[in-house]
Amino acid sequence: MGGRKGVLGQVRSKAAKVAAGVGRTPKCDARKAKVASRTWGVQEQRGRRHLSLSTLVSRGVGESGEFTSTIFDVEDVSLAGSKESILRGGRDKFGLLAKAFEGIKTIGVCGWGSQGPAQAQNIRDSIEAAGLSGDVKVKIGLRKGRPSWEEATACGFTEESGTLGETFDVVAESDLLLLLISDGAQASLYPRVLAAMKPGATLGLSHGFLLGVMKNDGVDFRDDINVVLVAPKGMGPSVRRLYEQGKSVNGSGINASFAVHQDYTGNATEIALGWSIALGSPFTFRTTLESEYKSDIYGERCCILGGVHGIVESLFRRYEAQGMSPEDAFINSVESITGPINSIISKRGMKAVYEELDGEGKEIFMKAYSASFGPSMDICYEIYEDVACGNEIKSVVNATNRFDRFPMGTIDQTRMWKVGEEVRAKRVEEDIPLNPFTAGVYVANMMATLTTLREKGHNWSEICNESIIEAVDSLNPYMHARGVAFMVDNCSFTARLGTRKWGPRFDYNLVQQAYVAIDNGAGVNDELKQEFLNHDVHSALAVCAELRPSVDISVSTDEAVGAGKARTQYKSSKANA
């Protein structure tokens, strides 16, 4: 016992240092921490089903998208010839939550940023609708005295009702712990969180980022807990907004991926699927923690956030230089993407944008597409490989450690975005043009984003959601409502940092390569044209369109709940909006 106690002491010592702000495990201690992570909770394992590390599930990229459930009706779909499994959501499934959450009395939600408020309120409402309010409690874990504490209270979570408490008290008592604190905080606090969890509990993540951090540190999760993921394919405010809109039509929300990284109790899959159903996910597909963090961190830097930001800024300047007024330049860049282009892709796919154009428009589209695809692929590949090797995760952690000295700057104070405020005030939706050049550049970026994911081995369900559906059904509507910052800065720190870092890179490559080629007379690349028109993604998207939420998101100008530096300018006047 002496040796075991020594190892646990090392881990707890590390946790204490983290809590005191000393820092994370240096590389030279990674092996010790790895051993410690496999030893946590060993005294409590008697009488429980214990899985060795060799029997854990959902490890890598590109594993089968098939899964089964003993509670929910899972169905198989064919996406571009690949068989995958999905679970359809809906309020009619809430009656099965009692079975999925069997043995779970407290669902702890730690964090109140982008995802925390939405997930906590959705799950609470679903549990109430299922008649489980007296059996299962949703409890928020925050630091008392922070603005987030007041906002959670305004949303109906209170100390008096036992639904609001200090972070690590909630961690210790939770049967299902949803760790929704910022990625930077997860990187610093995960040793203390893992040490505080009770044996047999389930750690729930909505992003695989923590796995990437732990891989960089050379440590594993303690093996006497479940580790699952449910990742809504959209920012938190949209998860809540669509859930509320869908209450009268058997539910609607944001599609989600799920993963079971570690199944200690034998029912981790059912817990994860129950969580996704409670969020209101229209359909849920399988991934792995590794695949999720690679595709998610990558996707938000490409067409979902960073790519579109770089595109619209480069096009605005180009159109002005060609003689358009500032207002027309904004309309033909930003408004064209967030208006008609977005609507067509959401309902009918990317190919339909091309088919919507007349003969001249198709030619302009294809010239822009041909010139933009290669420069976009160049950046997409660089981003993916930086994420895959851990460099991008290190960059995020380093940046969050600099926030006190170098806070994140604004991205919507330039003349372009001030023009946008005037344009939105006078907007007539029906008058927004489908600009063929803008469409060609934007679709090329989407195609580059998804082509890279496919070449790197990701499943079609993940590709469609991480590169297309999330962009058009969750993110772009927020830029349409209030501009680029309203879209970007309602997302996580990781997404916000990535947009600021990579958006300018896309801008540069388009200006220096794509637009120069077009101005020098470059024509349509017939090979790229045929690849686009006959690409497998179109049939995969057609299947996804059949599973699309039954309502379009309606974004007000007073949207988002989340305290702290990340979103104070978007704090809703009604905390439960």
Q: Which residues are part of a known binding site for Mg(2+)?
A: 296, 300
Distance, CA of 307 to CA of 446 (rounded, Å) = 9
AA letter at 410: T
Distance, CA of 362 to CA of 223 (rounded, Å) = 56
What is the Cα Rg of the chain in Å? 23
Q: Are 187 and 24 in contact (CB under 8 A)?
A: yes
Residue ranges in 426-475 assigned as alpha helix (H) = 436-455, 460-464, 470
**Full DSSP string of 35-85:** HHHTTTTGGG-TTS----GGG----STT-------SSS--EEEEETTEEEE
Residue ranges in 228-305 assigned as alpha helix (H) = 236-245, 268-279, 289-301
**SS3 for 145-208, per residue?**
CCHHHHHHHHCCCCCCCCCEEEHHHHHHHCCEEEECCCHHHHHHHHHHHHHHCCCCCEEEECCC
Distance, CA of 196 to CA of 127 (rounded, Å) = 26
Q: Is the dihedral of CA 486, 491, 494, 495 positive or negative?
A: negative
Among the listed residues 203, 126, 545, the one whose alpha carbon sits nearest the alpha carbon of residue 344: 545
Q: 205: which strand partners?
A: 229
Q: 260: buried, middle or exposed (CB in 10 Å: 19+, 13-18, 0-12)?
A: buried
Select which of 207, 309, 458, 480 is catalytic: 207
340's tokens: 């008609």
Q: Is the dihedral of CA 512, 518, 523, 529 positive or negative?
A: positive
Q: Which residues are part of a known binding site?
A: 296, 300
Per-residue buried b or exposed e for 368-390, using 16+ beta carbons within 10 Å of the residue's own CB: bbbbbbbbbbebbbebbebbbee
Distance, CA of 250 to CA of 93 (rounded, Å) = 9
Q: Tokens 């969020």, residue? A: 279
Q: Does residue 207 carry a catalytic annotation?
A: yes
Catalytic residues: 207
